[in-house]
Amino acid sequence: MQKQAAGSSSVASSAGRYVSLFTERFAMRVPVVQAPMAGGATPPAMVAAVSNAGGLGFLAAAPFDAEKLGSEVAAIRALTDRPFGVNLFILEPASPDDATVRRALDSIDPLRALLGLPPGTPLDRYAPDFRTQLDALIALRVPVVSFTFGVLSKEDVTRLQQAGSYVIGTATHVAEGLAWRDAGADAIVAQGAEAGAHRGTFIGRAEDALVGTLALVPQLVDATGLPVLAAGGIMDGRGIAAALMLGAQAVQMGTAFLTCAESAIPAIWKSRVLSAADNATEVTRVITGRHARGIRNPLMQQLGEHPERIAPYPVQNALTQGLRQSASRAENGDYLSLWSGQGAPLARKRPDGIGAAALVALLDREWRDVVSASNGLLND
């Protein structure tokens, strides 16, 4: 099969080899990228398992300082020789005034008290320094890097590419895709409204950027001419086949991997995902100060009673962290952030505790079966 032009994809017969510029570049046998998921869901064991299975594993490195970033990348390299990715959040340093912190704690402290925690206090630091993380990432020379919450300068994109990294930007609408294209990105993640956890939106209001995956992917393919990875609500072979038909060159799946054996999130989070209904999730900014999709629970509902008190990201995120970590340790699903996409119920059909490699193999079989069956859509 011939390589095709950027921005288009080609779908193989069920026995054939799927070829797109993106999958060829990283010798992927399966057009599945495991989404980076901050919060413990994508440890090195999962990243390596996915890459070894012919997909592309991705480390969520946003919460890490430079040292931890280095040790996690070393752990992945010890487990695989295959390409993998590392993801960061693009953030400005946060220096909130006391009133902003005080107001946020007025809502958080009663919930901390419920869990037996003392009142919260202002912090020295609300997130790792992005510039330090970026320099560390460049020095690590990893095969693929991706970013969300913003766009890099051309200079930073060039520095990464000169270090041998393939650069992917996250877009939730076309203007963001064009901003990444103009910065020199190699590919775009199209994050549809169905997606679990934080919205990547960085141009305009998040409320205006809830474009569904079905509508978003072809628009980003047409507008950017870059390889597009479809993300949001893709849980099985049907979703993968549909995304490839829309012109995506691969899919990026998060929620589907959240309940895998390697995912080191609390068991109660997995069980809430597995028992969720299709309408169980909501996009909210009350937990972290940035819009994110998760399963409704008392944490979301109670913080939502005073939206005017919510501090911007990453301040609210850091201020609610102690509460959420304590809930995690206690397996208390009521005060965790239960990030999940709208496709959560589709995770139930997987065998209990399925490994990430087995999931990649299943997904590959499923999407090929869908494509084969689609030959019967047209009557002679």
Ligand X SMILES: Cc1cc2nc3c(=O)[nH]c(=O)nc-3n(C[C@H](O)[C@H](O)[C@H](O)COP(=O)(O)O)c2cc1C
Binding site for ligand X (CB under 6 A): 35-39, 41, 60, 62, 87, 148, 170, 191, 194-197, 231-234, 252-256, 258, 339-341, 343
| Residue 299 contacts residue 287 (beta carbons within 8 Å) | yes
Q: 89 or 101, CB closer to ligand X?
A: 89
d(CA 335, CA 259): 19
Q: Please report how close the Cβ of residue 260 comes to ligand X at its closest, in angstroms.
A: 12
The closest alpha carbon to 5, from 237, 294, 222, belongs to 222
Q: Minimal CB distance to ligand X: which residue?
A: 254
Closer to ligand X by CB, 39 or 120: give it.
Answer: 39
Among residues 150 and 254, whose Cβ is nearest to ligand X? 254
CB of 118 to ligand X, least distance (A): 28
For ligand X, the closer of residues 26 and 120 by Cβ is 26
Of 86 and 319, CB closest to ligand X:
86
In which element (H, E) is residue 285 found? none
Q: How far apart are the first and last CA of the chain?
A: 26
86 in Cβ contact with 59 (< 8 Å): yes
CA 292/CA 304 separation, integer angstroms = 13
- Measured from the Cβ of residue 40, the count of other Cβ atoms closer than 10 Å reads 14
Rg of the chain's alpha carbons, rounded to an integer? 20
338 Cβ contact list (under 8 Å, min separation 6): 269, 272, 273, 294, 295, 297
Query: Residue 58 Cβ, how far from ligand X at the closest point, in Å?
Result: 8
Nearest one of 204, 265, 290, 322 to 37, comparing CA atoms: 265
Nearer to ligand X, 45 or 258 (CB): 258
Q: Other CB atoms closer than 10 Å to residue 138's CB: what's the count?
A: 18
- The CB-of-38 to ligand X minimum distance in angstroms stands at 3
- Nearest to residue 340, comparing CAs of 240, 269, 289? 269
CB of 99 to ligand X, least distance (A): 30
CB of residue 345 to ligand X, shortest distance in Å:
12
Least Å distance between CB 235 and ligand X? 7
CB of 113 to ligand X, least distance (A): 27
Which CB atom, from 101 or from 209, has the smaller least distance to ligand X?
209
Extended strands (E) in 141-184: 144-148, 166-171
Give the nearer residue to ligand X in terms of CB position, either 38 or 370: 38
| Amino acid symbol at 247 | G
